[in-house]
Amino acid sequence: MKKIVLLLALFYLLPVSAQIEEDALVFFENKENVDQALANPISILTQKALDRKQLHNTPIDARDVPVNEAYITWIKNISGISVFAKSKWMNCVYIRGSFEAIESLENLDFVNHVEFADKSLNLGPITGGVLTDKFEIENQKSSIVYNYGAATNQVEMIAANFLHEQDFTGTGIDIAVLDSGFPGVLTNPAFETLRDQGRLLGTYNFITREETADAPSSHGAKTFSDIGGFLEDEFVGTAPGASFYLYVTEDVGQENPVEEAWWVEALERADSLGVRVVNTSLGYQDYDNPAYSHVYEDLDGFTTIAARGANHAFDKGMFLLTSAGNDGSSFGFVATPADAAGCFSVGAVDSEELYAPFSSYGPNAAGLRKPDVMAQGVSAAVVDQNGAVDFNSGTSFSSPIMAGAIACLWQSRPQTTNAQLMQIVRESAHLFENPTDLMGYGIPNFETAYTALQMLAIEDQFLETQFALYPNPSQDVVSFKMPSFIDKAEVNVFTINGLLVFSSEITQQQNTLNISEVASGLYIATIASGATKNSFKLIKK
């Protein structure tokens, strides 16, 4: 039925549609040599990536296998079609071409389906929108006079300085910064220390396909400074000891969903290199071609190209942070990829910790709490491309300030999973008990988060050798966590007067007990296997 409708549309609109180019994703049926690649994963991933995945028990699967280059070559050779980006996670390419040429791809045996950027497949004339500067707020100069220690407030607001005092500065953590350009990064004095120490690991421009990040826009250089910048006695980023990859994925000369595809491609490269933390001070909602724009219903956390890529990256063990957006006074809601569950989205507050009116808010279209947290984004201190301390506003700076603190916290306990880390940081925030649409869970406190992370470490160490019981209180079913070296154990439940209520055996496979028939009250549960024994107070609702 779809093709019949499209053919009818072509019949009536052929004189117009012949001049129109469309953007689309082309999804492939399969990949080449998947079994061989998974049997020898070092052939598709770096050792650092393999080590990170092993540490977090992250699966290596068919998503890690590259797209079949023969398929890409085939499509490149089709007249009227250009290939701009590819995604191994989604097994697809981003293309541009005539409607007829793209539609014909569905007849290829290796093509699974085509997904047009124009969601309505509108073949009529499209009026181009006016190209706006998405960094308008960030590029506004502040009237604040430069001060010594310009970054003090934004660092201390989230207690990132506490982590530095514990000697956690992001050392050993690889961070990828995805942005519009990093001019002067090879000469900027703010990055001299990390250059001299070999911590600038690589650069790449996914638009021009060049091994450089020296694109004209200085937006990326400024966001990067809030993480890795260092000027003695003047400015310190939140992760001054981390290592970095700098990737250009944003084309400031256009607004087009191909930028989402480049962004996903950069994520995939970062994953293959073992990157842990990704900051992207970018967001997408409005496009030059209105037919490509995302409406609120599209921002449900899994529909857009960027959201899909973000969720794959989260599943692969990376911690993604992104700016919530500067549409608080216009479109309102967070854009993509900030809408994705796999992205930790960061909104903006001022120096007094009050909500910045330009900061985009939530929830996403699926009702998910967004933004996740907040950081300073009004008159945030940055270092410009020439090495001078400046002050800019925008959620673009809230996100990297937070990203550096995340890297330092992760350094303190690298075996923590990205999901655990996200939740610990949320729970440290000042609005966690009463989150709002404007500020999410609020402003995190990384001293509190550090303490919680150490408690998690103690708990994990305890669970390696001891039993645990949950939930408690319980109404129907009680589950038991058993040390890995124990196959089975005996559970006895007593009243507080010492009378045995029941006894049962549990195993690693059968580790739950039904207590629905037990009267409400307080009991003592003992779990024993050989010399390993624990007792718990058990509350039956």
Residue 536: CATH number of its domain = 2.60.40.3080
Pair (443, 501) in one structural domain: no
Provide the domain limits for residue 104: 2-31+66-116
Average pLDDT on 307-333 reads 96
Pair (406, 533) in one structural domain: no
Pair (195, 279) in one structural domain: yes
Please say if the pLDDT value at position 283 is more than 90.
Answer: yes
What is the structure's pLDDT at 258?
97
Is position 194 within any domain? yes
Alpha-carbon dihedral sign for residues 400, 403, 409, 410? negative
Is position 406 within any domain? yes
Tokens of 524: 């003592």
What is the structure's pLDDT at 126?
38
Pair (485, 423) in one structural domain: no
Instruction: Render pLDDT for 480-501 as a digit per residue (tens, 0 to 9).
Output: 888 878 889 999 999 888 889 8
CATH at 74:
3.30.70.80
Number of domains in the chain: 3
Please, what is the average pLDDT of the chain?
Answer: 89
Pairing of strands 389-392, 319-323: unpaired
Pair (371, 487) in one structural domain: no
Pair (452, 496) in one structural domain: no
Q: What is the dihedral of CA 141, 142, 146, 151, to 10 degrees?
A: -100
Is position 49 within any domain? no
Pair (258, 354) in one structural domain: yes
Asked if 237 and 158 count as a contact pair (C-beta separation under 8 A), the reply is: no
**Residue 117: which region, alpha, beta or left (left: phi > 0; alpha: psi -120 to 50)?**
alpha
Is position 182 within any domain? yes
Pair (228, 354) in one structural domain: yes
Asked if 139 and 392 count as a contact pair (C-beta separation under 8 A), the reply is: yes
Is position 312 within any domain? yes
Is position 9 within any domain? yes
Pair (286, 222) in one structural domain: yes
Q: Which of 2-11, 234-243, 363-372 has the least mean pLDDT? A: 2-11
Helices and strands: H and E segment counts in the chain: 14, 22
Is position 531 within any domain? yes
Please say if the pLDDT value at position 15 is more than 80.
Answer: no
Q: What is the separation of C-alpha 364 from the centre of its chain, rounded to a whole number of angstroms?
A: 15
Instruction: Render pLDDT for 435-453 as a digit per residue (tens, 0 to 9).
Output: 999 999 999 999 999 999 9
Pair (80, 180) in one structural domain: no
What is the structure's pLDDT at 498?
84
Pair (19, 95) in one structural domain: yes
Instruction: Render pLDDT for 53-87 as a digit per residue (tens, 0 to 9).
Output: 888 888 899 999 999 999 999 999 999 899 999 99
Q: What is the pTM of this model?
A: 0.78
Residue after which a domain boundary falls, among 426, 460, 494: 460
Pair (168, 287) in one structural domain: yes
| Contacts (Cβ under 8 Å, ≥6 apart) of 237 | 151, 225, 226, 227, 228, 229, 230, 400, 404
The rounded distance, in Å, linking the Cα atoms of 102 and 108 is 11
Please say if the pLDDT value at position 26 is more than 80.
Answer: yes
Please say if the pLDDT value at position 456 is more than 80.
Answer: no
What is the structure's pLDDT at 16?
42
Residue after which a domain boundary falls, among 57, 89, 116: 116
Length of the chain: 541
The rounded distance, in Å, linking the Cα atoms of 375 and 381 is 12
Backbone angles phi, psi at 235, to 5 degrees: -160, 135
Is position 51 within any domain? no
Most confident of the ranges 120-129, 427-436, 496-505: 427-436
